[in-house]
Amino acid sequence: MGTDRVMKVCIVGASGKLGQYMVRHALDRGYEVVGVCRERSVPKLAAFEGRMTVVPGATNDPEVIRRAVAGCDGVLTVLVPWGVQQYASGTAQAVLDHARPGARLVFSCGWHITRDGKDRYSWLFTTALRIVAVLGKLVRAVEIDDQVEACRRVFASDTRWTVVRGSDLEEGESQGLPVWSRHVGDPVLAGNLTRRVDFALFMVEALTDDALVHEAPAIVGRLTPAALAHTAAPDGPG
């Protein structure tokens, strides 16, 4: 894209907590912003009225996504596994199918997603995930394996993707750009806590960071003790 044109980004899942932070960061950068959210959630974006375009609808509706991503240089997608309806994979597929070729695509998920199987999880993490996956599906509230499928499709695509894997999250003032590493279990990530506002910051920064194309960074707050202890490599692996 030329430097004389304002960057246009679509935020899929704009009305959620992460989504609203991303809207704010994108507007702060002077980007033109289009947001997608469920019709009933449009009022959650009232604070941004007049500063962004809202396309109401289900994020896994290909027609909604086609309209929303038209002409966008980047698409930030919140992947959520709600319900038993292939919501996350449907959302990812719609974005992969309809974003313009060459657009930067940045997806959010959690540490439980693994790209190459080299992540090392604690027994506690694995057990908790299994319980959520089984119980969530049983009561038809959450479909963790569909978020896994969504990311599998992203990893296999020939788009310019990044999958940002969030640690546990907390609210609070920004502490700056999180640090990242390629594998859960790497010492720098031991703190397992990121401010949600900074998760959003990392997502928006990834739009213009070509070093993150085809990476699945696992992120953590830059002020967590382990991140501070590894300040020799504060901005990523190596």
Ligand X SMILES: NC(=O)c1ccc[n+]([C@@H]2O[C@H](COP(=O)([O-])OP(=O)(O)OC[C@H]3O[C@@H](n4cnc5c(N)ncnc54)[C@H](OP(=O)(O)O)[C@@H]3O)[C@@H](O)[C@H]2O)c1
Minimum CB separation of residue 211 from ligand X in Å reads 22
Residue 52 near residue 27, CB atoms below 8 Å? yes
Minimum CB separation of residue 88 from ligand X in Å reads 8
Nearer to ligand X, 110 or 178 (CB): 110
What gap in Å lies between CA 162 and CA 28, rounded to an integer? 22
Nearer to ligand X, 98 or 195 (CB): 195
DSSP structure class, residue 33: E
Minimum CB separation of residue 3 from ligand X in Å reads 31
The contact set with ligand X (CB under 6 A) reads 13, 15-19, 37-38, 41, 44, 78-80, 82-83, 87, 108-110, 166, 168-169, 196
The first and second tokens of residue 165, run together, are 């894997």
Which residue number is nearest to ligand X in terms of Cβ?
16
Nearer to ligand X, 46 or 232 (CB): 46
Alpha helices in 29-119 (DSSP H): 62-69, 87-98
CA 109 from centroid of its chain's CA atoms = 6
The first and second tokens of residue 126, run together, are 């694995």
Minimum CB separation of residue 165 from ligand X in Å reads 7
Minimum CB separation of residue 111 from ligand X in Å reads 7
Give me the residues paired with residue 201 across strands. none
Give the 3-state secondary structure percentages of the chain, helix then strand then coil, rounded to 5: 40, 20, 40
Nearer to ligand X, 157 or 192 (CB): 192
Nearer to ligand X, 4 or 171 (CB): 171
